[in-house]
Structures are given as structure tokens and as C-alpha cells.
Structure 1
Amino acid sequence: MSGSGYYASPPALSPARPVRRGRRRLFFVAMLLLTLVACDVLARGYLMLVLPYGSLETLIERQQSAATGAAVSEGASEVIHPYLGWVHNPQLSRAEEMDGREVQTNSLGFRDDGEAVRRRSADVFLLGICGGSVAWNFSWEAESTLRQLLSALPQLQGRRLQIVRLALPGYKQPQQLMALNYVLSLGGEFDAVLNIDGFNDGALSILENARQKTSIAYPRSWHARSLVMTDPRISAEAWRLLTLRAERQQLGRRALQSPLRWLALYQLWWHLRDEESRAELSRLGMQISQSNSGSFLHHGPLPEKESTEEQAVAAAELWIRSSQQMQAVCRGLGIPYLHVLQPNQYVPDSKPFTEYELERCLADGQELQSVTSAAYAELRAAGARAKDRGLAFSDQTGVFSGVTDTLYVDPWCHFNRLGNELLAKAVAGELAKVLAEQR
């Protein structure tokens, strides 16, 4: 109370300061939102540059695959098989489109539009196709050509051609032999069997097996594929590998459930984390593979041959013996059999290359070319000798020799639809001869 006997009124507060504070806060929030939007736009642009087809849906598919366990590591959708080395896991493999059809994994682990075990019938001609990726691609892209060319044969009158796919990318002998015997032992039947192979059996037996001290007779890169089977001497490293796969799977599940999953910024964060996990898995896998060097579990009996020439001879001998066994099994059951040596761009003078093929379809280094050339020389010689002894064998390495169109699509012996159709025309003629001989 003042001396004058009344209370002094407090000074009036200016409203300008709270208004300025409110504006600053609003400005801060607006700038924050604009920054987030700008970052999200930049993240989306970056992802569109680095992702296949520039689609964020690719990330969603990867997250789904990781969450289910199908893609927590390379080859996660494959499963070790007691007789065949490996097959696809029908519980994990995703459907893919091939020649306008949705291709699933059947109950035996083969990628086909039907089951592998089928019975002969009066209205269907069952053609089994064995081999690796070239044979598998051929079975789809050349199917209509084969159907058209074979339809005039007496054996196909009133019958529909049905291809049974026992081929899987990466297969090499004796996997083709084992696959045929396995399906036959389960009750499968065939009207004819076509085996198309060569590159995996020769070149990759050397580059990915013998050079890694893995048995030539073992499946391709068995030392890497068999990492899921633990050598007790490296249990700690194997546990770390399993932990990394589990972490990647959990990361995928969280990404699918996150309320931020619609933001490109969040997807970029997940993409970078996932790439880091993949790289660490690869490093650890390489470390385990190196520490496993000499392990019988992962490498089998050590290769006896040291030079490329000796390894090429050993690979060719294994390859042709396996084919002879396939023919013997088929002959015992009255099944016509044809073995085709697939084309390859590293066979000298086998094709005049287009500019695209010169730029995209020849390996940069000389090793793949020199090893493949050496391997194919032995394969062709072994095939010719076996043919003289009664093997139904067709060397198709020169089938593209007069073709000036682009056929090859990569440095690894794969060719496009036109290439498959041209090969089909040659194969159909050879198959017709085999069928005629066994009438």
C-alpha cells in the first residue's frame, strides 16, 4: 500500500511479445515441416535413382522377403537337398512371371508351372528338360517353338507337349543325373528327356570349385552354399552369421509395421541399414569360407588336378560319364534321351558379335574367356568320343555361327528369346532323329 492510501495499478503488459513468440514458434514448425518435406523429396529422388525400375515398391518387396526369411541372406530361398545339392524352398520362394505365366516352386523344389512327378498318358507327351539356367530359360522361351516343330512327329499325334522342368540355375553334373533318378524313383514318367548343359559343368567347375579347393564333383560353389551347415570348429562365427540374419529379418518386419513406412526418408534409412547388413553378411560369409578352407564338410575331397588343362579334362570326364548314365537309365525304361552341348560366346568363331554383345556380353578379364575356352574344347572332344560310342549327343556350339543379330544378353552364356528359338529349331531336329530311332 502506498502512502496516498490506494493500491497502484500494475503496468499493462504489452501483447506484442507473446505474439512475436507465437510467430517464431509457428515459423520454426513451418521450417521444420518444409525441411522434412524437402528431405523426403530428396530421399525419394535418390531411391528412384538407385532402385531397380526406380520404384519404391521394390523396397516393400525386399522388406516382405526379409520379414519372411526368404531374403535374409543370399540364397535364403534355397534349401540344402539330401540328393540334389539344393533346390528352391516352396515355403519361401516367391512367384515370378515367366513368358506371361506365374511360375511357382513345386512340391519338390523345382521352378515350374506344375509338379515334377507326372504319369504318361495317351493325350500328353512328357518332355523332361534337365540342366542349369540356360536349360531352364530354354524350357520357357522355346516352348512354343518346340511345340510347333514337334507336333508333326508321329509320337505327338493327338498329344499335347508338356515340359517337365528338372533344370535349375546353377546345376551341373552330376546334379542332372541325380534329379532324373530322384524323380524317376518317386514314380515320375517321361516320353523323352532332353539335357542341355556345358558351361556350369566345365568353366564353373574350374572357376568356382577347383580354384576354391572344392571338389569338381560337388555342386557349384558348395563351400559357399553349405555355410548353413556348421562345422563344429567354427560355431562362434556360425552363431554370428545366424544372429545377423535374424537382425535383418527383424528389421524387415519393423519396417512393414512402422507408421513412418510411407515416408521416403524412412525407406531410405531402412535401405541404408539393410545394405549395411547385407555387406556385413557377405564379409562374414567370406571370413567363414576362408576359415573353412580344407574342411571336408564344405569342400569335399580336395581336387587332385592343379592346372587348368587338367581340371578341364577332369570336369569333362565327369560331365560325359554323368550323361552316359542318364542315357543308360532312360534306355532301361524305354525313354528316348538327347544330350545337347549349349552354345557359348567364348567358343572361337561361334558367332559374329554385334556392338552390344562386344560391349555387354564379353567378360572384362581374360580368365573367364580362357578357362571357358579350355573347358569347352574338352567338353566337345569328350562329347564327340561318347557319340561314337553310342551317346545321343548334339554339339550346338556353332548354332549361332551365321547369325548377325544380337543374341547374348550377358557374359555368362545366356541368350535372348531369339537365341532360344534358334536353338529350339536345331534341337527339335535332333530330337526327331532320336525319337525315330526308338520307334
Structure 2
Amino acid sequence: MKDFKFVSKTQETLKIALINFALLLIFVELGSLGWYFVKHKQFFYTREKTQNKSDLGINLEGVRLNQSIVERFHPFFGFIQQPSADFRPGFKVNNYGFISPYDYPFKKNKKNQFIIGIFGGSVASDYSIFQIQNKILPQYLKQLPGLQDKEFVILSFATGGYKQPQQLLILNYFLALGQELDMVVNIDGFNEVALSNLNNKNQINLAMPSIQHILPLTSLANNSLSTKAMQTTLRIQENKTKINQGLESLQHCSFAACDALTSVYVQNLVNNYRKDVVAFEKERGQNQQDDEGSVIYINKNKSVLEDSAAFEQMAWNWAKSSIFMHKVLSASNVPYFQVLQPNQYYQTKRVFGEAEKRIAFNNETPYAKAVELGYPALLSKLPNLQKNNINILNGVNVFDKTKDAVYVDSCCHYNKAGEVVFSNYVGSSILESLRKDEARSKKK
């Protein structure tokens, strides 16, 4: 009789536990449905399924899912990204290491095609991707007589870490190969001071490619990459594998709770990836103790230059390179536009919200001081650029009237809202400049 009561009581307890567990699952699912709707503005069960991993609600800014974080040597450009056909829908890392739908040199296959070359570093690379996807610059250009029916082709010659005179050298290289260009937009300034400053601190010639990018390549070539850097590289690779697996699972979730839990898991992996990348960048920036036996030759300075002399030299390298880009393009009547990119470490009237401050600023970054000292040096060269008839767009204040967060990291990159503001500034400024040129030509 006691056994029967015990079994009956156990069954009753188990029944209650199962009911509570089922209710818990229901509440979790209902909560996840609400969370999904707030995040994606659509119901989970009637959602439009996507094969594009960037549309799954995970902030993948700066995550190179299909690329190595270590670049590849290039005998003319310094370094490039590893060519890969699998980058993202509609894009690849092409035969020259640029993110583009096309291999280079690109040849016109229609008479009405209008080719725009984008030069610079990672901000310029992001800009070119955004233009291909959203066509903001073409929308402005279509307002000009003779361009309404053009098919605009955006070609990126920009890569993260590039700084002058790399843009100048790359332009001349592709022109020598017969690349046609109808317009060139060069977006830079940040790398010219932030990365050149790191060169200076490591006694590397300021005009050489970024030591931050070249050093790990020379270390690999010399078999001298530090143990910490190699360990961090392994963690990054492992995280990338897990992130890809998590994104794959997200695409096949049948319940909202699965989507919510997997999203949190993957976003945590992405955050760890970013921390490891910062650690890797810091570690690989450490100079080698002895590079006399290096198989790679890099021009060095006898000593670290004083800041005043260093930033003045950086600014002239930037200005002169831009002047020569303009000269070679003007010989073929190709319009050239120089854009000085905005950066959070150059103080303007912009007011940052607390949430954006946590994302956009890093007290330990070496970039802050470089921008604070370097941007005034760049700005001092604008009159010289204007005297050389260069269309210079000073974009340092472009976000001043924007209340939305625009920065996606503590370096220099913009989120979608920032890309929209920046793209409209560049597009409207180019349109205004071309209209003025057209008006002057009619008066002659």
C-alpha cells in the first residue's frame, strides 16, 4: 500500500514537473517571438528566410568569415587580401585581392558604362561595397546631363591598411594595364596618420606600407611570429569556424527560442573574435628584436622622428600623392575627388551618446593621439591641394548633425546609418562640384 502511494506521488510530481517544463518552454518561445519581432520587424514563423548570413541579425562588422586576418605579400602593392571566390553574395576577393564583383582590369562591355574607381583603406573599401549595394553615388550622378542613362560600374581599389603612396602606385599600375576609369574617388586620411605613426615608432620609413600589416608577413617569412600571436591566430580561426556553424544553425532554426539562444551564442563568439583580433594586432605590432637576417628588406629610419616633424612629413606624403593622382588623371580628363574621412578621435562639434562612446572610443588605442596630432597637419595642406586644382572634400564634420550612432568600432569604421550619411555627403558634394565645373565651362 505504501509502495502504491509512493508511485502515485512520484507520478503526480513528475506530471507537475512536465507541465511546468512545458509551460516554461511555451513562455520562452513566446518571449523569443516578441524578441524576434522587435529585432527584425517581422514574425518568426512567417519570416522571409535568407541565405545571406549578414541578414540574420548578428553584427558581423569587421569579421572576416572567409578570409585570413593575415594578408598576402604583393610585389607592387605591399600586401593584398587573399583572393577568394567565396566572400559574400555578389562579391569576391578578386584576382588582385580587392573586394569586387569583377576581376581586374575590368573592360567595358557596353558603350554606356561609366566606371568609378574607389581608392583608399578599409573605410573606402566599405564605401565601395555600400555604393554597389545601394547606388547612392550613381543616383546623384544621374542628375547630370549626359549621365542619366549611364550604367555605373563601381570598382574598388581599396584595402584595409592602405595609405599613400599605395593609392598612387596602384592607380598608375592599373592605368599601365589599360584599366579605363571615368571618375576616381580617393577616401583617406586616417591611415596616413594612424598607421604612419606606428611606422615612425618602429623606425620604419613613413612612406612604407603599414608596419602593422607588413610585420606579421615578414615574421612568417622569417619564421619568427611570436607564440602569443600564433596562439591568438588559432583562437581566431577556431572562433570563425564556430561562428560559421552557428550562422548555419540560425538559418535552419524551426523555433523562435532556437533563434534567440543561437543568436546570443553567436554574438558572444563574434565579440570574442573581435577581442582576439585586437590582441593579435597589438602582438603583431611588436617589432622583432633582430631583423638583420630577414629575407624581407624594409626601409628604416635611423631614429624615431619627433612628432612635429613626423606628422608634417606624413601630411606632405598624403598631399603630394594626391596631387600626382590628380595630374595623371587630368591628362585623360578623368575627374578626381579627394575625400578626407571623418574620424571619432578628431574632435568636432559632434555629441556622442553614451552607448556610442562605449563602442567608438578606446583609451588604449594608439590611433587617438595620431589623429589628434595628424588631422590638423592634414588640414593645413588643404590650401595647397586647392591651389593644385584638386576637388578636396573635407568630411571631418559630416556626422556633426547626426544623433544616431554611426561608428561600429574604436578604429574608424561606420555602421549602416553612418554609411548613408557619409555617402550622401560624398554624392552631393561631387554633384555640386561637377555642376560648378559645367557652369564654368559654359562661360568660356
Q: Normalising by structure 1, what TM-score?
A: 0.65
| Distance of 2:195 and 2:159 partners within structure 1 | 16
In structure 1, the residue matched to 2:314 is 315
CA 1:249 to 1:302, structure 2 compared with 1: closer, same or farther past 3 Å?
A: same
| Distance of 1:320 and 1:337 partners within structure 2 | 17
| Distance of 2:160 and 2:240 partners within structure 1 | 25
In structure 2, the residue matched to 1:25 is 14
In structure 1, the residue matched to 2:239 is 248
C-alpha displacement of 1:379:
3.0
Cα contact 2:194–2:367 (8 A) shared by 1: no
Of 161, 170, 175, which aligns to 1:184? 175
In structure 2, the residue matched to 1:126 is 115
Cα contact 1:218–1:300 (8 A) shared by 2: yes
User: Could you list the runs of 5+ residues in structure 1 that have no partner in the other structure?
Assistant: 1-11, 96-101
C-alpha displacement of 1:327:
4.2
| Distance of 1:272 and 1:157 partners within structure 2 | 43
CA 1:364 to 1:184, structure 2 compared with 1: closer, same or farther past 3 Å?
A: same
Aligned counterparts, 1:414-429, within 5 A: 416=421, 417-429=423-435
> Amino acid of the residue matched to residue 396 of structure 1?
L
C-alpha displacement of 1:419:
2.0
| Distance of 1:250 and 1:75 partners within structure 2 | 12
C-alpha distance after superposition, 1:299-337 (max 9, x if no partner): 9545544333222112122223323443454467x3535
In structure 2, the residue matched to 1:278 is 273
Cα contact 2:240–2:273 (8 A) shared by 1: no
User: Could you list the runs of 5+ residues in structure 2 that have no partner in the other structure?
Assistant: none
Based on CA coordinates, which of the two structures has the bigger radius of gyration? 1
Task: Say if 2:88 is the partner of 1:94.
Answer: yes
Bigger drift between 15-24 and 28-37 goes to 28-37
Give the length in aligned residue pairs.
Answer: 403
| Distance of 2:117 and 2:280 partners within structure 1 | 36
CA 1:435 to 1:305, structure 2 compared with 1: closer, same or farther past 3 Å?
A: farther
In structure 2, the residue matched to 1:143 is 138
CA 1:111 to 1:148, structure 2 compared with 1: closer, same or farther past 3 Å?
A: farther
Q: CA RMSD in A?
A: 5.6
Task: Say if 2:207 is the partner of 1:217.
Answer: yes
> Amino acid of the residue matched to residue 24 of structure 1?
T
CA 1:232 to 1:113, structure 2 compared with 1: closer, same or farther past 3 Å?
A: closer
| Distance of 1:168 and 1:79 partners within structure 2 | 10
C-alpha displacement of 1:136:
5.8
SS of the counterpart of 2:142? helix
SS of the counterpart of 1:319? helix
In structure 2, the residue matched to 1:326 is 325
C-alpha distance after superposition, 1:364-392 (max 9, x if no partner): 9899777546434433444544665xx44
C-alpha displacement of 1:179:
2.6
Cα contact 2:243–2:270 (8 A) shared by 1: no
In structure 2, the residue matched to 1:338 is 336
SS of the counterpart of 2:181? coil
SS of the counterpart of 1:216? coil
SS of the counterpart of 1:243? helix
Aligned counterparts, 1:26-425, within 5 A: 26-32=15-21, 61=53, 71=63, 76=68, 79-82=71-74, 83-84=76-77, 85-87=79-81, 89-95=83-89, 105-112=93-100, 114-119=102-107, 122-132=111-121, 133=123, 137=127, 140-149=135-144, 151-152=145-146, 162-168=153-159, 170-201=161-192, 203-206=193-196, 209-211=199-201, 215-220=205-210, 222-223=212-213, 226=216, 230=220, 231-234=222-225, 236-237=227-228, 239-252=230-243, 255=246, 256=248, 263=258, 267=262, 270-271=265-266, 274=269, 278=273, 281-282=276-277, 285=280, 288-289=283-284, 291-292=286-287, 300-302=298-300, 304-327=303-326, 329-330=328-329, 334=332, 336=334, 338-342=336-340, 344=342, 353=349, 371-372=370-371, 374-382=373-381, 384-385=383-384, 388=387, 391-397=388-394, 406=402, 409-410=406-407, 412=412, 416=421, 417-425=423-431
